[in-house]
Every structure is written in structure tokens, then in C-alpha cells.
Amino acid sequence: MPKSNLIIDEGNTLCKFAIVDNGIITDRAVGTNADDGQLQAFASRHQIGRIISSTTRTSEIKLPTQLQGIPHVKFTTDLRLPISIDYKTPETLGTDRIAAAAGAATLYPERNTLIIDIGTAITIDFLTADGVFKGGIISPGPEMRAKALHQFTGRLPFVEITGNAQLQGKSTTESIQSGIANGIRFEIEGYIERYQKTADNMLVIATGGFAEMFSENNPKIKIEPDLVLTGMNRILEMNI
């Protein structure tokens, strides 16, 4: 029986686990980190043949005893990639941004692609049709904006994030929600408009935990929730 690929994507807030068979995600789970019992329970349901792990945190991922000894790729910029990197400091480039670009190149080869990842932070990166990662922007994500307004002011409340905020808030809470939601939308729309002036046949992809909230019903954007996992699986297969 063929063994599966295990993908471990430890982000700033949550850790995603996925099983990939023949390029298709067949099982998944979410935990707080890669060291908790949930990963061990999740992996125990499968025959694992290869592992790739990525973390945006400062500590390294420690695999459970049952997974030690299985071929394991730790995601770094030194791996073989399906894209090339045009970035002044590739050693500081987040593996999540690389993986998202690799996922875009896998799903939509030979397309100019704008990749929007809306999570703890927002990243907007450009991948050329010939597979060159050109870099992009990093800005605060929705919850970070809400926390900053609350923590750096004396009286503004911490608000719930919503994607349905009106243009004109009628209370302080609604005004903050409007500023966050519409600020993000205008930011995204501005980048799309600017890139469309210079990139032919450009595809726009959104991913990340808040992708649907801020990209839903936008005909310019295709939502790919598994973009990073797809890219990590492609990189794993290129390196083992």
C-alpha cells in the first residue's frame, strides 16, 4: 500500500496538518502547534512515507516519536523549488509566501499571478508567468489591526472582525469594523488594479484564514484555501 505525504504548516496562530495522496488532500486537521497530541493522533491514522514541515515561529518543530526516522524535509529557502526567487534577502523570505507561490505555479502554470494571503498578516506577492517570485508587500491582518486600535488608544474597544461592514459606521464599534474591512478591501483592490496595468492575463488568487471573508463575491479573485499545502507538497516531492 502506497504511503502518504504528511504536510505540517505551523503558522503564526494555528498549525495545519494534511495528508496528501497522489497530489490530493485526503485528510486534514488543525492544532495550536506541531508538538501537541493532535498531530500524533492525526498521523496515527495513516501510513506516512514522507514529511515536510514549515514554521513561521522562532522555535523548531519537534516531531512525535512515532514520526521520527521517516524521511523529513524542513522547509528552507535552500530546497529545490518549482519557482525561482527574485528577492534581495531570500533568507528572510517567509516559507508561507514561497509555498503559496509554489502552489500557484502548480495549479496554474505559466500565468502571471497575484497571490493574496489574508491571515495574521496580509501578504500580496507577484509570480510571473515564467515562474519568478518577484516579492510584494506585508501589512497587518484583520485581527492585528483590531488589536492595535484597542491597545494603542485609551478608549477604542476591541471589535469582532466582520467582512460585512458598512461604508459608514453608525457607532464606534461599527466605525472600527468598517475601517478594518473596507481598508483591507480597498488595499487589495488597489493592488489588483495597479498590477493589471502591467501584467497581461493576470490571475488573482486569495488564500489564508480570512480569504473568504474579504474576497468572497469578488469576480476578480479566485479563492484557493489549500494553496500553501499544495505548494508544500510539490516541494516535498521535488526534494525526496
Which domains are delineated in the chain?
1-74 (3.30.420.40), 77-240 (3.30.420.40)
One-letter amino acid of 111: R
Mean pLDDT for the chain overall = 95
Catalytic residues: 96
Q: How confident is the model at residue 8 (pLDDT cuts 50, 70, 90)?
A: very high
What is residue 1's predicted lDDT score, i.e. its pLDDT?
60
Dig out the grid coordinates for 237 from the structure: 516531492
Q: What is the pLDDT of residues 87-96, one digit of tens each?
A: 999 999 999 9
Paired with 20 in beta bridges are: 5, 25
**Angle at alpha carbon of residue 137, lines to 169 and 185, rounded to 5°:** 25
pTM, to two decimals: 0.94
**pLDDT at residue 166 above 70?**
yes
Give 73-111 pLDDT, tens digit per residue. Answer: 999 989 999 999 999 999 999 999 999 999 999 999 999
